[in-house]
Amino acid sequence: MEKELPPGLRETLERAARSNRMVLVLTGAGISAESGIPTFRGEEGYWKVGSRNYQPEELATRKAFTKMPEEIWAWYLHRRSVCRRAEPNAAHGALVDLETALGDRFALVTQNVDGLHRRAGSSAERLFEIHGNIELTRCSEECTGAGRDALAPLPASISLDWPRGKALGEEEKRLLRCSRCGGWARPHVLWFDEYYDEELFRSRSALALVEEASLLLVVGTSGQTTLPFQIVLRAASRRIPIVVVNLDESPFSEHALATGGADVRGKAAEWLPAICARLS
Question: Phi and psi at residue 39, in whole multiples of 5°?
Answer: -70, 165
Q: Which is nearer to ligand OAD, 92 or 105 (CB)?
A: 92
- Spell 202-211 as b/e; 16+ CB within 10 A means b: bbeebbebbe
The nearest distance, CB 111 to ligand OAD, in angstroms, is 4
Cα(21)–Cα(6) distance, integer angstroms: 23
- Minimum CB distance to ligand OAD smaller for 232 or for 279: 232
CB 36 within 8 A of CB 83: no
d(CA 62, CA 117): 26
Q: Is 78 a catalytic residue?
A: no
Which member of 78, 92, 117, 131 is catalytic? Answer: 131
The residues that touch ligand OAD, with contacts defined as CB under 6 A, are: 28-30, 33-34, 39-42, 60, 111, 131, 190, 220-222, 224-225, 245-248, 250, 267-268
b/e per residue 118-130 (b: at least 16 CB within 10 A)? bbbebeeebbbbb
CB of 109 to ligand OAD, least distance (A): 11
Which CB, 38 or 183, lies closer to ligand OAD?
38
- Cβ proximity to ligand OAD, 140 vs 250, nearer residue: 250
Residue 169 or residue 266: which is nearer to ligand OAD going by CB?
A: 266
Residue nearest to ligand OAD (CB): 30
State the Cα–Cα distance between residues 122 and 21, nearest whole angstrom.
Answer: 19
Residues marked as catalytic: 131
